[in-house]
């Protein structure tokens, strides 16, 4: 079913609220661009989206694939040589629609997440800030993709605002005028989280201590947004943060990890203790009454747990272990707590 123009306008508006929030947390460019690419996919009905960013002569490609049935989206960043169709879209001032693109050849310069399409349609636009070209953005769709004129106009607006967001993100990065809290939820931001995890790993390694992390993902938020709009979804995320903050201990740290994901850092806490805390979080979110959930279904959360040093001795390995546990929780019915390395969900009994 095609989305209405008012829904798409709401999506563009809330996307840049989220992007601005991510900028002020010090999130990476790829994390800031991800919701913009998701918005582009939804506006045009694409199978995937990409951004090509230019900084000091180096071209970085960010590829995005929408969430699968398990709710996990794909995001990849790499450096490319600007040529072929990528160079053409990068240099074109207006929105361009390129049809009958051979996916095995030309798409390779645009999109790195693969495609089962034998022939594709690509909609692209240059990213410019005050007449300075800083990159390109585009959507990859089926051969039959035929965007309406109003959708192409909205995509052009998205491209202009994306250029502003990217420029602002780079300025924030250079000046380091960054808050340690997320503007939407008041939780600690992504940059603070990574610094805190690095310090916690150092302390635990030196004094032979343990700690755990809990990754929290709100279930079925896309379905809620489809009915109540992304402003309604943002309010759900705010309330989830309040429930979590009121549930954890004073020494624990609630941090915003992604668009609808949080992470709790629990110092000096074994895996079983963190599982009990996670179960309280899950239960608190399940019992909380969110506006409009009687229409779209109960708002719940899935949680994944990893502990140092059992599940990893580096920040990257710990996050990967928690993310894998969260993936299992989402895949096996949602609204559950899953511990890294376990084959069944956690049960408090």
- Quick check: is 198 in a domain? yes
CB 134 within 8 A of CB 172: no
Mean pLDDT along residues 195-215: 94
- Residue of higher predicted confidence among 265 and 190: 265
Has residue 185 been placed in a domain?
no
pLDDT over threshold 50, residue 330: yes
Are residues 162 and 33 both part of a single domain?
yes
Percent of the chain residues topping a pLDDT of 70: 94
Question: What is the count of structural domains for the chain?
Answer: 2
Report the pLDDT value the prediction gives residue 219, as an integer from 0 to 100: 94
344 in any annotated domain? no
272 and 203 in a single domain? The answer is yes
CB-count exposure of residue 206 (10 Å: 0-12, 13-18, 19+): exposed
**Confidence band of 40 (pLDDT split at 50, 70, 90):** very high
Quote the CA–CA distance of 278 and 244 in Å, as a whole number.
Answer: 9
Same domain, 130 and 234: no
Which pairs count as long-range contacts for 199-204, CB under 8 Å and 24+ apart, including other chains? 200/265, 200/267, 200/308, 201/308, 201/313, 201/314, 201/315, 201/318, 204/308, 204/309
Average pLDDT over residues 19-26: 76
Residue 1 — pLDDT band, cuts 50, 70, 90? Answer: very low
Can you give the CATH number for the domain in which 124 is found? 3.30.450.40
Residues spanned by the domain of 83: 5-175
Neighbouring CB atoms inside 10 A of 244's CB total 22
In the three-class reduction of DSSP (H, G, I as helix; E, B as strand; rest coil), residue 223 is classed as helix
- Shared domain for 152 and 214, answered yes or no, is no
Q: Which residues pair with 62 in a beta bridge?
A: 51, 77
- The verdict on 165 and 37 lying in the same domain is yes
296-323, pLDDT tens digit by residue? 999 999 999 999 999 999 999 999 999 9
> Which of the listed residues 135, 150, 175 is the one where a domain comes to its end?
175
CB 15 within 8 A of CB 32: no
Q: What is the CATH number of the domain that holds 195?
A: 3.30.70.270
Asked if the structure places residue 345 within a domain, the reply is no
Question: Rounded distance, CA 231 to CA 79, Å?
Answer: 34
Q: Is residue 335 a part of any domain in this protein?
A: yes
Question: Has residue 246 been placed in a domain?
Answer: yes
End residue of a domain, out of 125, 148, 175: 175
Q: Is residue 346 part of a domain?
A: no
Residues 205 and 140 in one domain: no
């Amino acid at each position: 079913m095609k989305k209405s123009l008012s829904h798409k306008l709401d999506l563009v508006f809330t996307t840049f609220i989220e992007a601005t929030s991510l900028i002020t947390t010090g999130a990476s460019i790829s994390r800031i661009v991800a919701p913009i690419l998701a918005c582009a996919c939804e506006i045009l009905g694409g199978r995937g989206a990409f951004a090509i960013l230019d900084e000091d002569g180096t071209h970085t490609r960010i590829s995005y694939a929408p969430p699968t049935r398990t709710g996990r989206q794909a995001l990849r960043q790499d450096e490319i040589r600007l040529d072929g169709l990528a160079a053409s879209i990068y240099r074109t001032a207006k929105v361009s629609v390129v049809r009958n693109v051979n996916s095995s050849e030309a798409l390779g310069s645009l999109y790195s997440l693969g495609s089962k399409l034998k022939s594709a349609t690509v909609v692209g636009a240059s990213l410019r800030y005050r007449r300075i070209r800083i990159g390109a953005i585009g959507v990859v769709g089926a051969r039959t993709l035929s965007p309406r004129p109003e959708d192409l106009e909205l995509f052009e607006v998205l491209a202009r605002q994306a250029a502003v967001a990217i420029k602002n993100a780079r300025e924030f990065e250079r000046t380091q005028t960054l808050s340690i809290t997320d503007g939407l939820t008041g939780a600690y931001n992504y940059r603070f989280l990574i610094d805190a995890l690095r310090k916690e790993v150092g302390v635990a390694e030196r004094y032979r201590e343990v700690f755990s992390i809990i990754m929290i993902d709100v279930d079925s938020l896309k379905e809620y947004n489809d009915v109540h709009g992304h402003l309604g979804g943002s309010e759900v995320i705010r309330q989830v943060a309040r429930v979590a903050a009121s549930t954890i201990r004073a020494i624990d740290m609630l941090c915003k990890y992604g668009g609808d994901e949080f992470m709790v850092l629990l110092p000096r806490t074994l895996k079983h203790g963190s599982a009990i805390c996670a179960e309280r979080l899950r239960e608190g979110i399940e019992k909380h009454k969110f506006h409009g959930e009687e229409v779209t279904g109960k708002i719940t959360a899935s949680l994944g747990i990893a502990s140092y040093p059992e599940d990893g001795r580096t920040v990257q390995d710990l996050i990967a272990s928690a993310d894998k546990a969260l993936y299992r929780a989402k895949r096996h019915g949602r609204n559950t707590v899953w511990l890294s390395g376990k084959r069944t969900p956690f049960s408090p009994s």
